Structure 1
Amino acid sequence: MATTSAVALPGPRRVVRVDLDAPLPELVADATGSSALVVGYREGRPVCTTDVTLTADPSDAARVLAGLVDTPATASADPVPDDALPTVSVVVSTVVDRVDDLGRLLDVLEHLDYPRHEVVVVDNRVRVPADDALPALLAGRTVRLVTERRPGLSAGRNAGVAAARGDVVAFTDDDVQVDPRWLRALGERFVREPSLDAVSGVILPTELSTPAQVWYEAYYGGFSGERTFDPVTIVPDDVPGTMRHARVAAVRPDGTVRKRFAVYGIGAYGAGANMAFRRELLEAVGGFDTTLGAGSPARGGEDLAMFVETLWRGGRVGFEPRAVVHHRHRRTVDELHRQLHGNGVGFTAFLCALVAKDRRHAAVLARLVPLAASVKAQDALRALRGGRATTAGTGTTAAAPAAVAGAPAAASTPVPRSLAWHELRGFPAGPAAWFRSRRRWRDVEAGRFHAR
């Protein structure tokens, strides 16, 4: 089995928020870390990130930060009046295994900068322990509680959608913290672009305190792919024949195309920790696929499947960098390995679920998978040889620190071979996991499922 021994354990990395319109802070190495992920903000919104190596001399970091000052703010738009914003239901499905995190999340959700919203907490535990912490956690809060004892994140989210009263349903997770203006950013994007069926946003780390957390950022370059702060609209190619809606374009507000990619790569622009859909779209699709998602043998993929379904129908997805949440990455290497293995399982399981729902996916995948597999294999081999995955990096929109004269090199984090190893070995396990998941869900619906 691959181990982490080939790569030195990285020290903690600070996550530092810097207001680029204010005097720049002095950053030096100390007990909290000798490197930092700096998130540059303008007008209260993130516009760039970069890694900084810290020394005892604050002028070293200052030269790097100076290179960020010219990063432009996202083009401002006229504010949307409160009465024009859609009503929103925020759904959080939980198995109540992160009580403190859930409490902190609810503290913010109840007081978001949004005029008409509700918070729906779905208790998705199959069994409730005698020392149940949920009633005390919810006491005195203005949230609605929904119970869904059928297992799986998809079942929990679907129960939340069924109970939701909002025109838009937003989703996040119980290991996430949201910015106070998160919901307003989502709602305003729906108003400014009425053709959108879904909106996603930026996911930043809450902390990079452990090697596992640092490696996760380095391996993926962000939570779900290349981190960018450019607002785009994901538009499917409306071409005739088999490939209709199989490829999509990320289109900037000025109409130029930032990149083109296969619809199955939508994970670079969306993840379940930060996404919102029009309720009518969720109802038309039939909800999240219950054979996918955390809590099922398939381990994941339900969020990607919903985004793909949206685009496959000719819908549009807006990526809104003003909508920001902060995720607490897995803290231990064992947890990270399990997560990456689950990611591999979930991805191929999600492809199986798509093919089962629409056979045209099989024909499209037959054309696209060889190229995608080649790119992924090269990426994984690079990591297995001790280099960084090609998806690593911060995707900064500012000048790279190395381009700043006299600045120290950017913090560089080699990732261990085990990350690629665990993800790769998950891919072939996905189809069998999906079949088990489908069989289990049939047992659930028939009343034959009993949790162990």
Structure 2
Amino acid sequence: MGVGELDLDGLDGGVLSLTPAPGGPPIAHGEVYVLVRLRGRPVGTVIGRVRAGEDAAEVLAAAARKQLAGHVPEDRAVADEIPVAGEQTAGPGGRSPAPDPARLPRATVVVATRERAGQLARALDSLLVQDHPDYEIVVVDNNPVTAQTRELVESGYAARGVRYVREPVPGLAAAHNRGVAVADGTILAFTDDDVVADGQWLSSLAAPFAADPRLGCVTGLILPARLRTPAQILLESHGGFTKGFAPRRFDPARPPADEPLFPFTAGRFGSGANMAFRADALRAVGGFDPATGTGTPARGGDDLYAFARIVVAGHRLGYTPEALVWHHHRETWQDLENQAYGYGAGLTAYLTALLVRRPALLPALLRRLPRGAAHALTISAHREAGEQSVPGEHGAQDYPWPRGLSRLERRGMLYGPLGYLRARYRVRGLRRPWEPTR
């Protein structure tokens, strides 16, 4: 299946451009999955089938007009209508005004990696051409067994300002904490080594912090860079990492009516491949729990823990679809099985971490436990595939999910608390890297 970007001059307007996803092959005939933009602004994803000899741009534009009709407002608004001090309003045609470079806070981009120099180089190439006027990039080499990452950075990227840091403690959260310790940005942005960032990603991620002093975290849009294998297609049809195309504000002072489990469904806030924090707020809550994340027995949950801790501390959390990264999904069925198990384990591991670190949250969690259990069963339930192999609208609960993956995800949920406790035992006594030595 092809993957591309279609830019329209309004939903009923002409085609401005049709391009493949970054680094992808040209759009040809067959089934094509496209991000639809209106004069640059992401508004949705659609699928079209292009037959040999047809004009791909016109076929996909027609599909976009049909599938997105009635779902794309002319003016962008915050979906939950929470008033935000100084929030920018939409400009003509619904596109937000370009962020004022003079108002953008200095940012540090942290990329944690381990033995994937080829993918890392692709990610760094995209990060070095961001339009943000004041930022640095820090690569954290997590528990390396070879020198390939250090050699890549020192030979090809250090001269362009990329910093290399080594973190010997295994685990994504420990690596992120090392990045927090050395960063000098007011805003700390995190992404993975298997993404390609849109050129306006960092500016779009940082701009909400300048507009709203109560924001502690902002997440962004994650789309698939390739859909070449059945595993990649199935992961995206399961919802992928995408949280939709409506900007959101999650405010602990005004819990959203459509989130009865708030703030314990942190997975609705965003994903770790595309997130940023106000540095002071993240350090104040202790950063990431080093007993969570990929590379630990907990298997995941590091990003969810940080989201929840920020909200519990009283900060707002925002989601903006204009901060876009393209993610290279894993390609094999074994990868997908590992992800399904990791999703389940990370969910319950992060909840365990939250209660261990903040026992006062237990009564609130217990009140939500029945609905939370029902929610967990719903998101991990087996579903047959529908007509579309990849949905144009994300966030629905009718995507396909095979029975075997459903069982793995639920087994992961049962394992998560034990995995967290095992990981916590391994890192006992470990202090945050920015904390003074006693």
TM-score of the pair, normalised by structure 1: 0.79
Confirm or deny that 1:215 pairs with 2:214. no
Gaps of 5+ in 1: 1-12, 239-247, 250-256, 401-411, 446-452
Shift of 1:283: 1.4
Shift of 1:145: 1.4
Give yes or no for contact 2:48–2:59 (8 Å, CA) kept in 1. Answer: no
Structure-2 change in CA distance of 1:190 and 1:25 (3 Å)? closer
Match of 1:204 among 223, 236, 258: 223
Amino acid across the alignment from 1:103 = A
Match of 1:230 among 214, 223, 246: 246
Secondary structure in structure 2 of the residue aligned to 1:428: helix
Secondary structure in structure 1 of the residue aligned to 2:161: coil
Aligned length: 393
Alpha-carbon RMSD: 2.9
What whole-Å deviation, never above 9, does each CA across 1:357-415 have from its counterpart, x for those lacking one?
111332222221221222332454442xx357xxx844369xx9xxxxxxxxxxx9744
Structure-2 change in CA distance of 1:133 and 1:361 (3 Å)? same
Give yes or no for contact 1:125–1:151 (8 Å, CA) kept in 2. Answer: yes
Confirm or deny that 1:430 pairs with 2:416. yes
Measure, in 1, the Cα distance between the counterparts of 2:110 and 2:122: 15
Amino acid across the alignment from 2:181 = A
Structure-2 change in CA distance of 1:258 and 1:323 (3 Å)? farther
Match of 1:41 among 28, 31, 37: 37
Give yes or no for contact 1:35–1:53 (8 Å, CA) kept in 2. Answer: yes
- Percent identical residues: 37
Aligned to 1:52: 48
Amino acid across the alignment from 1:23 = V
Measure, in 1, the Cα distance between the counterparts of 2:217 and 2:360: 23
Give the alignment of 1:86-105 within 5 angstroms: 86-95=105-114, 97-105=115-123
Shift of 1:440: 0.9
Confirm or deny that 1:171 pairs with 2:169. no
Aligned to 1:6: none
Moved over 6 A (4+): 24-27, 30-33
Amino acid across the alignment from 1:108 = S
Give the alignment of 1:355-366 within 5 angstroms: 355-366=355-366
Amino acid across the alignment from 1:18 = L
Structure-2 change in CA distance of 1:290 and 1:33 (3 Å)? farther
Measure, in 2, the Cα distance between the counterparts of 1:422 and 1:33: 36
Give yes or no for contact 1:94–1:125 (8 Å, CA) kept in 2. Answer: no
Shift of 1:305: 0.5
Structure-2 change in CA distance of 1:315 and 1:212 (3 Å)? same
Secondary structure in structure 1 of the residue aligned to 2:215: coil
Structure-2 change in CA distance of 1:179 and 1:26 (3 Å)? closer
Secondary structure in structure 1 of the residue aligned to 2:414: coil
Shift of 1:99: 1.4
Measure, in 2, the Cα distance between the counterparts of 1:323 and 1:169: 14
Structure-2 change in CA distance of 1:99 and 1:363 (3 Å)? same
Aligned to 2:375: 375
Measure, in 1, the Cα distance between the counterparts of 2:116 and 2:351: 30
Measure, in 1, the Cα distance between the counterparts of 2:61 and 2:275: 35
Secondary structure in structure 1 of the residue aligned to 2:264: helix
Match of 1:156 among 175, 195, 198: 175
Aligned to 1:244: none
Structure with greater contact order relative to length (CA < 8 Å, sep ≥ 6): 1
Shift of 1:55: 4.4
Structure-2 change in CA distance of 1:113 and 1:379 (3 Å)? closer
Give the alignment of 1:244-255 within 5 angstroms: 248-249=255-256
Shift of 1:435: 1.1
Give yes or no for contact 1:47–1:73 (8 Å, CA) kept in 2. Answer: no
Give yes or no for contact 1:26–1:61 (8 Å, CA) kept in 2. Answer: no
Give yes or no for contact 1:157–1:288 (8 Å, CA) kept in 2. Answer: yes
Gaps of 5+ in 2: 20-25, 77-89, 432-438
Match of 1:23 among 12, 15, 22: 15
Give the alignment of 1:27-426 within 5 angstroms: 34-56=30-52, 58=54, 63-67=62-66, 68=68, 71=72, 72=74, 74=76, 75-76=90-91, 77-95=96-114, 97-129=115-147, 133-134=151-152, 135-219=154-238, 221-223=239-241, 227-237=243-253, 248-249=255-256, 261-383=261-383, 386=384, 393-395=391-393, 414-426=400-412
Amino acid across the alignment from 1:110 = L
